Structure 1
Amino acid sequence: MAPRKKRKSAPPVIGVDRIGDLPDHMLHHVLSFLPAQAAVRTCMLARRWRHLWKSTTGLRIVGLNDPRYCVEVQQLRKFVDHLLILRERTDLETVEIKFSQFSEADMPYLNLWIRYAVMSKVRALTVHLDGEFILFLDPLVSQHLRTLDLEGVALEKSVLDFASCPALEDLKMGRCVINAGRISSRSLKHLIIFGCRSKLDRRIHVSIPGLVSLKLTNFAGKTPFLENMPLLERARVYLSNNSNEDCLNYYTRDLCADNDNACAICLANNDASGDCVLLGGISSARHLVLLSESAKATFTRDLKHCPTFTKLKTLLLNEYWCDAPDVDPLACILKNSPVLEKLTLQLFSWGPHHKVEMKGTYSPVEGTTAISKHLNIVEVKCNVVDERVVEVLKFLCAFNIRFSFE
């Protein structure tokens, strides 16, 4: 029997630094996702990492989201000041400044850090705070800024005039106090305003002719006046209880059907620029979601001068549009939507899951042009088919729309 051959022992495992083998520009990008404090600490990993943090493509100055870095502005002042001095003078792709707590004494530092970001040609700037921090960039000037995301910020006067930001395409404002009489931009394509409020006694004018998408929800104060947006593709507008424009006649069921009986809220425009506050500006959209609490006067007033939605393909409405004698608001908007293809009614149910969903089919009647002959999908979603829903179904059936339950 031949002697067994000795098995060769496996070579010792040697640790391989695969991340460290990446080229510098990729490591700069990776480090940009870390909070600034953590990015700087990587200088301790190895000789090669000693200065990488100085040239990251992103800068995150944060005091929330991650409990390991839950600190206040005051605790980071010296650190950030030294960081900005020691950084290489490279351009920044992204800058995030997020804090849940700050004081009035912190405001100069926050504004200084924002100015540093703008001077570093930042392309995407995010400022999320919990309070009414006043942004003092007056006005904002940047040839490179493409995305601006603001939350918990007080915006004054010409800060929202973006004439000096020709590359800006995306603007998001959440829970902000807007004390500017105008939001204007020639380059902006996407605008989101949610949970914001205005202390002004007049409407904020939104002048963005190149806008492609709009989301305006839960605005407190006078509803903003939307100027014409001919390139608009889709819009979502929700008038919540935060609005101070309740119809004074609503609860007496006198719904301001004509100007002789209309209340002061429904009659007043206070914009001196046209009859419609919202509908005129978004009348070129292809896809619309229009939601409102029951007593709001803005849409009611707009419907008195309802524009024609010449491009509208899909429309989602809630019960506000059906809760009136003869379902007048719904009838009006259908009459003025000549190419509508899909109508969705979400009645007394916010979803996303509805207990009852009905699909309808429309068969145009010869000689009848009351609604779009292109309408091929009608959906009604609710939690229960009560008397209010039945009235809406009867109204739709009058236009030869037949339903089936799912």
Structure 2
Amino acid sequence: METAPKRACASGSSAPGRVERFRLRLRYGLLHLVLSFLPSRQAMQSVVLSKRGIDLWRSMPAVDLDISEFLSITRRSSQYCCKDVWGKMENFSTNLLMRHRAPRLDAFRLRIGSIMIDWSRNSFFFSIATEYCPMELEIRLNRLDWSVLYQLPKLVSCHLKRFVLSGVSLEHSFAEHLHSGCPALEDLVLWGCDTEFCGLQSETLKNLVIRSCTSRVADILVIRAPSPASLRLDLLYNTHKNGVLLDTEKFLVKASISLASDQLSQRGEAILLGSLFSVTSLELGGFNAMAILDKEFDKSPAFDNLRTLALNWCFHSKRDVNKFKALGRLLQKSPNLEKLTLQTFW
């Protein structure tokens, strides 16, 4: 008669323990998530305020190194001392990563801002980025001098899904490494980079952004991706002057293309526009009327999926006397268009 109550008592005493452990895991999981959005220095300063969470920084899922966190330390002639600031950031990063226990990182972010560094002697951060195989890798180096670019070393990661690069030089082999070494890549952002490759290919790429990049080698850029969702191209003057060709198998949901004035040849603009025939939402900037009236554009399929079209600063030149004829031709090729926006058209 006394056995059953004792078992019930034992069972009841263990339930609160399991609930408490669950609450602790949930709380630490939420703290990890919140800390992943902070620069690593701020994250460490935050967790040391709590005795229970003092070791949380050792297993943070993201390492975010921002040079601005160290800029308030030294000034010299109204300019930050690059050597001192960089040295403090490097010492902090070394201590952080030596004590870090996470087997793999969700994200590794490095932002250098306008600090000018001799990158040939500072490849420490890039070797760490490769060693931890993060799912998100972001490297931003502001370009004060467009003749100074850091040559990105070979980065290969089977876990990498999001890749953001700014202010680096990408040689022709970058595209090959990306295709063979990053089989899970979904998002690629290139901003202010110097590119030497003439094509990009990825079987898994969903979102591609190329903004303000220069290219002294490739006259034409070929992008091959079976099922991309979005594409944004902001091309500088005299970059890929013979055009950009998009090769896809499925429908492209959204595309935004902006060209510098007279950047591409008439045929190059026609080829680029024709390769976007599967898009649903399209925003164009800087296109010429004669490109749409070119025979090359007549060869492209109709834009049967296009529902939204925005033209910004298109057909704006005084030489585009056939702007209304070009607009009519474009609308004829877009039988299912629902919304048209014209900006700076007159």
* TM-score, length of structure 2 as denominator length: 0.75
Which protein is bigger by CA-based radius of gyration? Answer: 1
- Structure whose residues are more often helix by fraction: 2
Q: How big is the shift at 1:175?
A: 1.6
Deviation digits for residues 253-304 of structure 1 (CA, Å, limit 9, x no counterpart): xxxxxxxxxxxx446x6xxxxx95312321111111122165x976665535
| Aligned partner letter, 1:311 | N
Aligned: 1:210 with 2:223: no
Number of residue pairs matched by the alignment = 302
2:142 corresponds to 1:136: no
Which residue number in structure 2 is paired with residue 92 of structure 1?
105
1:278 corresponding residue in structure 2: 272
Q: CA RMSD in A?
A: 3.2
One-letter identity of the residue aligned with 1:216: L
Write out per-residue CA displacement over residues 323-354 of structure 1, whole angstroms, 9 at most, x where no aligned residue.
Answer: 33372321221222222222222234xxxxxx
The residue type equivalent to 1:341 in the other structure is E
State the shift of 1:43 in Å.
6.2
| Mapped pair 1:227 → 2:246 | yes
Would you say 1:81 and 2:98 are equivalent positions? no
Query: CA 1:291–1:157 in structure 2 vs 1: closer, same or farther (change >3 Å)?
Result: same
Distance 1:219 1:24 in 2: 46
Residues 108 and 39 of structure 1: CA distance in aligned 2, closer, same or farther (over 3 Å): farther
CA contact (8 A) 1:303 1:332 kept: no
Q: Give the C-alpha shift of residue 30 in structure 1.
A: 2.8
Q: 1:56 aligns with which of 54, 60, 65?
A: 60
Alpha-carbon distance between aligned partners in 2 of 1:333 and 1:21, rounded to the nearest angstrom: 57
SS in 1 for 2:118: helix
Shift of 1:67: 5.9
| Structure 1 counterpart of 2:283 | 289
- The letter for the 2-side match of 1:153 is V
CA contact (8 A) 2:292 2:330 kept: no
How many Å separate the matches in 1 of 2:240 and 2:184? 30
Aligned partner of 2:339 among 337, 342, 346? 342
Distance 2:188 2:36 in 1: 22
Q: Where do 5+ consecutive residues of structure 1 fail to align? A: 1-19, 246-264, 270-274, 349-387, 389-406
C-alpha distance in structure 1 between counterparts of 2:225 and 2:205, whole Å: 7
Tell me what 1:157 maps to: 172
> Is 1:122 the equivalent of 2:140?
no
Q: Is the 8 A contact 2:39 2:66 kept in 1?
A: yes
Partner Cα distance (2:108, 2:198) in 1: 27
Any gaps of 5 or more consecutive residues in structure 2?
1-23, 74-79
What residue is the counterpart of 1:363 in the other structure?
none
CA distance in 1: counterparts of 2:60 and 2:224, whole angstroms: 36
Return 339-348 or 280-289, whichever deviates more: 339-348
TM-score (norm 1): 0.65
Code of the aligned partner of 1:333:
L
Q: Secondary structure at the match of 1:92?
A: coil
Deviation per CA, 1:199-234, whole angstroms, max 9, x where unpaired? Answer: 225222222232111111243412552232232011
Q: Is the 8 A contact 2:67 2:86 kept in 1?
A: yes
